[in-house]
Amino acid sequence: MTSTLWLAGESALLPSRIQMAFTLATHVLLVPMGVALPALTLLMEGIGLARKDAVALRIARRWSVVMAVQFAVGAVTGTILSFEFGILWPRLMGRFGGALGLGFAIEGLAFFLEAIFIGIYLYGWERLRPRTHFLLGLALPPAGVLGTFSVLAANSFMNTPAGVTITNGVVTDVNVWAALFTPAEGYEFWHFFIALYMTAGFVVASVYAVAWLRGRRDHHQRLAFAIPFTVAAALTPVQLLVGDLSARALVQDQPAKFAAIELTWKTRDHNPEVIGGLIDPSGAVNLGISIPSLDSFLVGYSANAVVPGLTSFAANARPSIAEANIAHLAFDVMVGLGTAGALLAVWYFWVLLRRRRLPDSVWFYRLAALAGVGCYVAVEAGWVTTEVGRQPWIVYNLMRVADAVTTAPGSFVWTMLAALVVIYALIAYFFVYLLLRLAARWRRDDALGPSAPEEGAPYGPRPALRRAGP
C-alpha cells in the first residue's frame, strides 16, 4: 500500500479532532476580552464621568480600541468555528442541530448586538454627549452575558443532554427550555462567566503591572491597574466556590469525567485525592502526591463517601488512559492556578484594607504581571478538562465523536488544518504587532501630548478623507 492510498483511505477523525481543538483553543483565548473588557471599560468610563477625571476617560477610550480590534479577530475565528460544525461534524448537527443549535441561534442575536454596539461605542467618543455614550455602552455587558449563556447552553447540552425525544435515532421532539437549561448549564455558565471577568481583569492589570515594574508611577498607571485588578481579585474566591460546586456536580452528572479528573480506577470509598501523577493501563497511579481519603471527603464530606471509578464504565464508554491523564493534569493546573490567584488576591486586599493604599512590593507586581498569562492557561486547562473528560462522547451517552465525524478523506482535513495553522499564525502576528504598535504610540502620546487613540487601528472612526500626495 502506498502512502497516498493510505492517506486517502484514512479516517478524518484524528485531523478533525486536532483541527477542532486547535481552532477552539485559539478562539477561547479571545473570549474573555470580548465578553468582559466592555464592562471594565464602562466601569472606567463611569469613574471618569463621575469624578470628572480626564485620565480615566482616556484609559477607557484606549481600552475600547483594543476591544474593537480583538472583537474583529474573535469574529473571524468564531465564523470559522461555525463552519467547522458542518465541515467536520455534519452528523452531529444533522441529528442534534434542532436542540444543540438553539443556544447558537440566541448567540447569533447576541453577536449581532455586540458587533453593532461596539461600533456605536467606538464611534460615539466625542460625537455623542458623554452621558449618552456611556448609556449606549451599557448595552454591551448584557449582550456578553446573553452570548456566554447561549454558547454554554450548547456546550452543556453536549455534556448533559436533556429536553429531546429520540425515536429510532431521530430527534422527534424538542422541549426548548429543558434543552437550553440542561443540568450542566447551571454551573458551567457561572464558572465560565466568572472566569471571563477574572481573566479580563488580570490580563488588563498585568499590562500596567509591567508598567509599574518599568518605573511608571502616575495616576494613569495606578487607576488602570487598580480597577481591573480589584474586580478580578474580588471574583477569585467566588470562583473557587463555584468551581468546587461544578466538580462536585460531576459526580452525579458525568461520573466517568469525574473519575478521569480524579484518576480513580475502581469505584470505592476512602478514595485518595491525587495531585499530579499519571495513571497506567493497569490502573496504578505513578508520580503523584496522594492524600488519603481526601477525594471521598470532598465529594461527600465523609471518608466513607463512595467515588465513581473508571472501571465502572465500559472501556468504550469512558475516557482512554491518555485522555484521563490529560483531563486530570489539566484539572490540576486549573485548580492550582486558581488557588495561586486567590492567594495573590488575599495579599492585595490585605494591603489595600490594612494600609489603605496599593501594594508597593516588587514581588507583588511580578506575580500580578504573571496573573494575566496564568488566567489564559487556566481557561485553556478548564476547557481541556471538560472536553477531553467527556470523551469518547460528543453528546454524552448519546453520540460518539467517531459517529459524528465527516466522511471526507483524512487528507482533505489534514490539508485544511495546515492551511488554518498558517492563516492563524499570520493573524496572531498581525494582531500582536498591531497591539504593540498602538501601545508604543500611546506611550509616546503620554510623553509628548495627545492624538486620537483610534489612529492607526484598522477599525474605528476615520478622519476625513485625505487626498493622495504630499
Partner 1 sequence: MNGLLPNLIAFVLLLAIAAYSTAGGADFGAGIWDLLAGNSERGREARRLIDHAMAPVWEVNNVWLVLAIVLCWTGFPPLFEATFAGLYPLFALALVGLVLRGAFFAFRHVADDPRAHRAADLVFGLSSVLTPFFFAASLGAIASGRVGNASVLDASFNPMSIAFGLVSVAATAFMGASFLVGDARRYGATELVEYFSRRAAAAALVLIVVGTAALVTIALQAPDLVRSMLLGAGLPFALTTMVLTPVVAFLLWRGIFRWYRVLTVAAVGSLVFAWGFAQSPYVLPGKLTIAQAIAPNGTQVLLLWTAVAVLLLVVPSMGLLYYLDQRSALEPPQA
Contacts (CB under 8 A) with partner 1, residues 42-101: 69, 71-72, 75-76, 78-80, 82-83, 85-87, 90-91, 93-99, 101
Q: Does residue 342 touch partner 1 according to CB under 8 A? A: no
- CB of residue 45 vs partner 1: minimum separation in angstroms? 17
Closest approach of partner 1 to the CB of residue 57, in Å? 14
Q: Which of 109, 135, 213, 245 touches partner 1 by CB under 8 A?
A: 109
DSSP letter at 307?
Answer: B
Point out which span in 260-268, 293-301, 359-367, 425-433 binds partner 1 (CB under 8 A): 425-433
Tell me, residue by residue from 223 to 262, as one string, x for binding to partner 1 by CB under 8 A and - for no binding: ----------------------------------------
- Comparing CB distances to partner 1, the nearer of 107 and 188 is 107
Bridge partners for 279 per DSSP: 285
Inter-axis angle of helices 219-253 and 321-355, nearest 10: 140
Please state, in angstroms and rounded to a whole number, the distance separating the CA atoms of residues 235 and 199: 10
Written as nine digits, the cell of 59 is 484609559
For residue 115, state whether it binds partner 1 (rule: CB under 8 A).
yes
Q: Does 192 bind partner 1 (CB under 8 A)?
A: no
Q: Which three cell numbers stand for residue 47?
A: 469613574
9 contacts partner 1 (rule: CB under 8 A)? no
User: Cβ(365)–Cβ(212) under 8 Å?
Assistant: yes
Site for partner 1, residues 117 to 146, rule: CB under 8 A? 117, 119-120, 123-128, 139
Please say whether the dihedral angle defined by the alpha carbons of residues 88, 92, 98 and 102, taken in this order, is positive or negative.
negative
Using CB under 8 A as the binding rule, whether residue 398 contacts partner 1 is answered as: no
Residue among 103 and 288 whose Cβ is closer to partner 1: 103
The amino acid that residue 98 corresponds to is G
Q: Which is nearer to partner 1, 18 or 120 (CB)?
A: 120
Q: How far is the CB of 343 from partner 1 (least distance, A)?
A: 39
C-beta of residue 364 within 8 angstroms of C-beta of residue 206? no
Output 267 or 411, the one with its CB closest to partner 1: 411
The DSSP call for residue 304 is: T
Which grid cell is 104? 447558537
| Least CB distance to partner 1 at residue 137 (A) | 12
Please, which residue, 119 or 336, has the CB nearer to partner 1? 119
445 DSSP assignment: H
Contact 22, 428 (CB under 8 A): no
Which listed residue (171, 250, 330, 378) binds partner 1 by CB under 8 A?
Answer: 171
Instruction: Candidates 103-111, 191-199, 239-247, 352-360: pick the segment binding partner 1 (CB under 8 A).
Output: 103-111
C-beta closer to partner 1: residue 123 or 347: 123
